[in-house]
């Protein structure tokens, strides 16, 4: 009788344990099916891309993300790249020329190594670009990166890119706030609302001499008011560049990497380590990431230049950051105006791979189909 009760309670215990196990299992399964929230998905995607970035061995300006290093070794598929580019075309335009204000840069004509590095840097949050970030996250990996870059390589550059003023230039602009912190809005408090309203009538009008600009200001707010506010107005409208100064600065500071006509560089000799013999594979080069600046939109170059100087563009070449530390606003405007006017030449780019020229040789097994009798073959 005692055994009977013992057995019965044992059975009950097993049933209870089983039931508890099933309940726990169903809770676990239900949790497993629970979809990720948008924030979780975004976080997971960001972590996945960031995980691909290794600690930079030679400064963050070199390609360090695993997917970038892999993409550099792969062969691109132009057709596939064209499909991927439809996403990019919404902002960079189907031509790849970007917009005249340089909010979206020209991609056409850029070296593939540079494009690969910039895309993977944005994906790995090594270059802050909140506008482009979600678009970059649509790329599925190294093969997609090289595919889209191969397609971009087929695009012809803008034959008439927006260049700088190339001399005196005065303009009350609010469209350039992001390029450099001077603007019409900035002087509103200093000149007062009445004057500000009047100055708005010549907003974005470009004047090619200081005399012309002062005349327009006199006509707008009157000589008396101009006298009071001349200094602050001129300071916030001075977009003049000096191409001679730009040439001197370019030749002194930029030629080594961006080369004599802004063609940049996509390959360089492997580094020679002191005390060690030169490598046997002489002539073999390593990827380099010096961008093409020839023909790039002036305001894009100027904006990026200033961002590199203040450290906002984090993935820049550290040597450049040091070199341009003391550049004045006039220096920056002048050197970017000068460099943007260069034109690319034949031989400045890496050679593009040819078509798929392989034959229909489907391997050794195919030989069995040949008409040659087996005993006559090698």
**Which are the contacts of 52, defined by CB distance < 8 A and separation ≥ 6?**
65, 66, 67, 120, 123, 124
Is residue 308 close enough to count as binding another protein by CB under 8 A? no
Q: Using the rule CB under 8 A, which residue among 9, 131, 209, 285 binds another protein?
A: 131
Cβ within 8 Å of residue 93, ≥6 positions away: 99, 104
- The C-alpha atoms of residue 216 and residue 231 are separated, in whole angstroms, by 15
Of the candidate residues 9, 12, 26, 129, the single one contacting another protein (CB under 8 A)? 129
As a whole number of angstroms, the distance between CA 201 and CA 211 comes to 18
Q: What is the length of the chain?
A: 378
Burial class (CB in 10 A: 0-12, 13-18, 19+), 111: buried
51 lies in the site for another protein, by CB under 8 A: no
CB atoms under 10 Å from CB of 271, counted, come to: 9
Residue 129 or residue 285: which is nearer to another protein going by CB?
129
Stretch that binds another protein, among 123-131, 212-220, 222-230, 323-331 (CB under 8 A): 123-131
CA 123 vs CA 52, 127, 364: distances in Å: 9, 8, 43
Told to check if 366 binds another protein by CB under 8 A, we report: yes
φ and ψ at 207, to 5 degrees? -120, 130
Nearest distance, CB of residue 186 and another protein, angstroms: 14
Q: Which residue in the block uniquely carries the two structure tokens 């993300």?
A: 65
- Give the nearest distance from C-beta 69 to another protein in angstroms: 22
Residue in 42, 62, 198, 200 binding another protein, rule: CB under 8 A: 42
List 177, 211, 284, 312, residue binding another protein (CB under 8 A): 177
List 63, 114, 136, 302, residue binding another protein (CB under 8 A): 136
Minimum CB separation of residue 37 from another protein in Å reads 9
Print the binding letters for residues 69-98 with another protein: x by CB under 8 A, - otherwise: --------x-x----------xx-------
Give the residue among 81, 76, 102 at the shortest CA–CA distance from 91: 102
Q: Which stretch binds another protein (CB under 8 A): 60-68, 129-137, 241-249, 263-271?
A: 129-137
Q: Choose between 261 and 313: whose C-beta lies nearer to another protein.
A: 313
How far is Cα 197 from Cα 185, in angstroms, rounded to an integer?
A: 11
For binding to another protein (CB under 8 A), which residues are involved?
38-39, 41-42, 45, 77, 79, 90-91, 99-101, 103-104, 129-131, 133-138, 174-179, 356, 358-360, 362-363, 365-366, 368-369
């Amino acid at each position: 009788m005692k055994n009977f009760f013992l057995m019965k309670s044992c059975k009950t215990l097993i049933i209870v344990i089983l039931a508890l196990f099933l309940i726990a299992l169903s809770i676990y399964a239900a949790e497993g099916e629970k979809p990720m929230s948008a924030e979780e998905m975004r976080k997971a995607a960001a972590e996945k891309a960031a995980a691909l970035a290794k600690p930079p061995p030679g400064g963050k300006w070199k390609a360090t993300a695993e997917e970038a290093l892999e993409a550099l070794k792969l062969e691109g598929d132009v057709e596939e790249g064209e499909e991927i580019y439809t996403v990019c075309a919404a902002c960079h335009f189907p031509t790849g020329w970007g917009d005249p204000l340089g909010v979206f840069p020209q991609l056409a004509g850029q070296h593939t190594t540079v494009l690969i590095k910039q895309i993977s840097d944005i994906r790995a949050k090594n270059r802050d670009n909140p506008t482009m970030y979600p678009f970059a996250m649509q790329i599925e990996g190294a093969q997609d990166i090289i595919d889209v870059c191969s397609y971009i390589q087929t695009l012809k550059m803008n034959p008439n890119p927006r260049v700088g003023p190339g001399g005196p230039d005065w303009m009350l602009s609010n469209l350039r706030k992001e390029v450099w912190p001077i603007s019409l809005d900035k002087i509103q408090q200093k000149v007062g609302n009445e004057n500000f309203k009047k100055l708005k009538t010549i907003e974005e009008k470009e004047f090619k001499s200081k005399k012309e600009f002062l005349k327009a200001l006199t006509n707008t707010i009157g000589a008396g008011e101009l006298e009071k506010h001349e200094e602050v107005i001129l300071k916030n409208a001075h977009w003049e560049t000096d191409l001679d100064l730009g040439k001197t600065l370019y030749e002194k500071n930029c030629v080594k990497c961006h080369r004599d006509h802004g063609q940049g560089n996509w390959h360089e000799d492997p580094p020679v380590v002191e005390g060690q013999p030169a490598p046997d594979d002489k002539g073999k080069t390593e990827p380099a990431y010096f961008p093409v600046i020839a023909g790039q939109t002036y305001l894009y170059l100027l904006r990026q230049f200033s961002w590199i100087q203040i450290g906002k563009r984090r993935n820049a070449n550290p040597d450049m950051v040091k070199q341009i530390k003391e550049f004045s606003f006039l220096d920056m405007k002048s050197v970017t105006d000068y460099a943007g006017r260069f034109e690319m030449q034949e031989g400045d780019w890496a050679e593009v791979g040819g078509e798929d020229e392989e034959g229909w040789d489907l391997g050794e097994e195919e030989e069995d189909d040949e008409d040659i009798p087996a005993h006559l073959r090698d």
